[in-house]
Amino acid sequence: MSDSLVQTDRHGNRVFGGELHASVANSIERLGMVYLGREILTQEVHNFTGLSQILLKFHLYHWLYDSVACLDSLARVLNVLLDLGIAPREVNLNRRFIGILESRQKELSRVIDKEYVWIEDLRNMRSTIIHREGRLITGGGQEPCFVWDFQRAFNPNIDLNRVKLPDLVDEFMPKIDFLCHMVISEVLEEQKRKGFSSGQFPSD
């Protein structure tokens, strides 16, 4: 992966740099934060007491923020890689982005579109916490740790719901990981399609 992101400066020195490298590095870093967040959250679940409610929420909320940020960073990689022309501040992995991506890479767009239901669910969870309401978390320690009413944002008619917290996070982790692997691997595939060898990727 690193060879495909190396550029050569005017003196012939191999250097890392440019928007493509920055966006890939950012995606990998954010994925690492998502995994770290899951581990810390798991520890809090097993040690949960009423006094740690705020810590549990803190780690859950940050896991949600980091997860959505990770997905948006993948959109940034594709925006730079495929020269989609979207302004940096407007790059999000949303329907508009998928529509623009389709004009340049139909197969990749189709794969992401199939994943979009859970992407939107994750984004809605984060947006609900940021803009509307928090979540009551109960149990923990020797008992299952539940998040109450996590589905309210998606169906206002649903009864109060409770979801096991570890299951909630673990449901999304392999999906996020899959998208990261697919998008970052696309850097190498695009390099091959354009006929560039290692270290010759065009400057961005």
Lowest mean pLDDT among 134-138, 144-148, 174-178, 183-187: 144-148
Tokens 């190498």 belong to 188
Tens-digit pLDDT profile for residues 6-49: 566 667 665 555 788 888 888 999 999 999 999 988 887 777 76
Rounded CA gap, 91 and 162, in Å?
A: 33
pLDDT, tens digit, 9 for 90 and up, residues 153-194: 445 554 444 556 667 788 889 999 999 999 988 887 776 776
Q: What is the DSSP string of 79-128?
A: HHHTT----GGG--SSHHHHHHHHTT-HHHHHHHHHTHHHHHHHHHHHHH
**pTM for the whole thing?**
0.76
Q: Where are the domains of the chain?
A: 2-8+16-133+169-194
